[in-house]
Structure 1
Amino acid sequence: MKRTINIVTPDGKVPSWTYTPDTGNFVKGAVLFFMDAMGPRPAMDEMAQKLANAGYFVLLPDLFYRFGAYGPFSGSSFGDPQSREKLVKMINETTAAMTVEDTATFIAALEGEGYSGPYGVVGYCMAGRRALTVAARYPERFAAVASFHGAALASNGPDSPHLLASEIKARIYVGTAAEDGSFPPEQSTRFVDAFRHAGADFALESYVDMQHGWTVPDRDGVYDEAGADRHWRRLLQLFDETIR
């Protein structure tokens, strides 16, 4: 069941949505769900509700709230030059540091709903790096973190998530497309080396024949049902084993 809430941050109100099981399943714990680059939309609702129906309380905040009303966008919006220009601006100007600051209020919202944690966090596309970063910045609050087709997870930038490997206490799962320009092989190698040397509890899995965005139902020409099902099995196993 979906419910709309507003979360107040120092920078404004965050339109957000909570999801609980439609089937009356026992709620095992809470998960923070970070959207992909096209923002909240029916495809994100579908995914968040599916996670909720597996027995979780799910919170989906609009990470682009600082821009006010925008879009709506769809999974194919990057194919339109005007939409792509707007999205790139929003992605670049919504930094990981901003999401870290906002997460304090997201955690407070989860606590207000009666969930003390530890929590799970999952991010898709641009939010994969944000999920890893908040897990590092709030290590006592997150038991599990997952990234799917995350971009720039081991870049040369000073805020690259792989530099935070030693700070993450959560169990980590990273699912990558076999060929993804936003996370090329050299970054994959750098990521694995950093997390192995940090002694982190992590797994990085390459999804052969998948493309960036393969998990998201409205990504026309990219979504892959078998690959998406595999991603759900991995994600639910991660949360089922870590969130009590």
Structure 2
Amino acid sequence: MCDEHTAHDNELYLTDAAVSRRRFAAIAGAAGLVAMLPRPANAQAISGRDVTITTPDGTCDAYFVAPAKGRHPAVLVWPDIMGLRPAFRQMADRLAQSGYAVLTVNQFYRSVKAPFLKAGESFDQPEVRARIMPWRASLTQDATRRDASAFITWLDKQKQVDSKRGLASTGYCMGGPMVMLTAADHPGRVRAGASFHGGGLATDKPDSPHLLVPKMKAGFLFAVAENDDQRNPKEKELVREAFAAAKLPAEIEVYIGTMHGWCPPDSRVYNAAQADRAWDRMLALFKTQL
């Protein structure tokens, strides 16, 4: 599972070349910094703000950003186990610059406000893991479903959101299954989903997310970390079979040279080249599905 990875998973892939963006990202992640993300071509001017959203379980803190003008397709972002933080704000800004109204949530709101990590802290550190895991326990599938409904309802009320167009959802690590739950519960709204190094997408349990695929109407991208696939190669095949049976488009790829957690720019194992390639595949999916 994505929230059970070990310190070994956070080893750095460093090249022998002069300081590259990939090397800088690894160094920045280790220092608790955020590597710079490339600016989209023809980037739109954006406006972002902190927001609070009422849910059946309380009040969620979140970050909403959208192009400064017009109405746009909405994207609901579920962060990884280290939560809403500067790296995810930067990714939200980047996506908004490409023409989307983006809501990135703190799904740990029942327990703690974001950000809850200090500079240099990471989930691979035992003391950090011990602090986060009790919060993680409250994020049941039912809780995620309630949250997704509240977040989509909130998004569709925003003047920057074109609710006549499909909505997308993306998730990182533990956020991958959350995307699948969101798509299954809201097939009339969610037309695209993207999971980046998601964990627990297909299990042998009766509530496995891949069993929800027949309820979906969304096309998907699954960007799989190489070491995740080495541990559990069957998972991607079960997901592939589920989407094929439902006759839904799904791009499922193992990104060579990547380790679990490789997409956020503050990760200790950030792989800039592969993260950018996965990002481009996400934008291509959104263009087709939304």
Contact kept, 8 Å, 2:56 with 2:146, in 1: the verdict is no
Residues of 2 paired with 1:63 and 1:240: CA distance? 27
Deviations 1:98-125 (A, max 9, x none): 1111111111111210332420111111
Change (3 A) 1:27 1:236: farther
Contact kept, 8 Å, 2:65 with 2:93, in 1: the verdict is yes
| Equivalence for 1:38 | 82
Residues of 2 paired with 1:44 and 1:192: CA distance? 28
Give unpaired runs (5+ residues) of structure 2.
1-46
- Supply the RMSD in Å over aligned alpha carbons: 1.9
1:7 to 32, 53, 66: 53
2:143 to 98, 105, 108: 98
CA apart distance, 1:78: 1.3
Residues of 2 paired with 1:239 and 1:60: CA distance? 17
Correspondence 1:93-132 to 2 at 5 A: 93-114=138-159, 115=161, 116=163, 117-132=165-180
Q: Percent identity?
A: 37
Residues of 2 paired with 1:2 and 1:183: CA distance? 39
Amino acid at match of 1:139: P
Give unpaired runs (5+ residues) of structure 1.
none
Change (3 A) 1:71 1:61: closer
> SS where residue 184 of structure 2 aligns?
helix
CA apart distance, 1:160: 1.3
**How many residue pairs are counted as aligned between the two chains?**
240
Moved more, 95-104 or 71-80: 71-80
| Equivalence for 1:77 | 122
| Equivalence for 1:19 | 65
Select the structure of larger CA radius of gyration. Answer: 2
> SS where residue 65 of structure 1 aligns?
coil
> SS where residue 140 of structure 1 aligns?
coil
Contact kept, 8 Å, 1:76 with 1:219, in 2: the verdict is no
| Equivalence for 2:228 | 180
Moved more, 208-217 or 156-165: 156-165
Whose relative contact order is higher, 1 or 2, with alpha carbons under 8 Å and at least 6 apart? 2
TM-score by length of 1: 0.92
Change (3 A) 1:25 1:206: farther
| Equivalence for 2:199 | 151
Residues of 2 paired with 1:71 and 1:29: CA distance? 26
> SS where residue 180 of structure 1 aligns?
helix
Change (3 A) 1:183 1:202: farther
TM-score by length of 2: 0.78
